Amino acid sequence: MAHKKPNLPQKICATCGKPFTWRKKWEKNWDDVKYCSERCRRSKSKT
């Protein structure tokens, strides 16, 4: 049986529009995170 994570905050990616959840690496700058991945961050100007 898989371990369920607690209810983590979610945001919608500014590039692809898909929801993504909080990650430990974004702990200090969660308010500034706008993209779900490096790929979306790099392609932000194309869309």
Show pLDDT as tens, one digit a residue, over the chain (47 residues).
Answer: 566 777 899 999 999 999 999 999 999 999 999 999 999 999 976 54
Q: What is the pTM of this model?
A: 0.74
Q: What is the pLDDT of residue 39?
A: 95
Tally DSSP H helices, then E strands, for the chain.
Answer: 1, 2
pLDDT at 33: 96
For residue 32, the model assigns a pLDDT of 96
Distance of alpha carbon 32 from the chain centroid: 10
Model pLDDT, residue 9: 94
Q: What is the DSSP letter of 32?
A: G
Dihedral angle of Cα 26, 32, 34, 38, to the nearest 10 degrees: -50
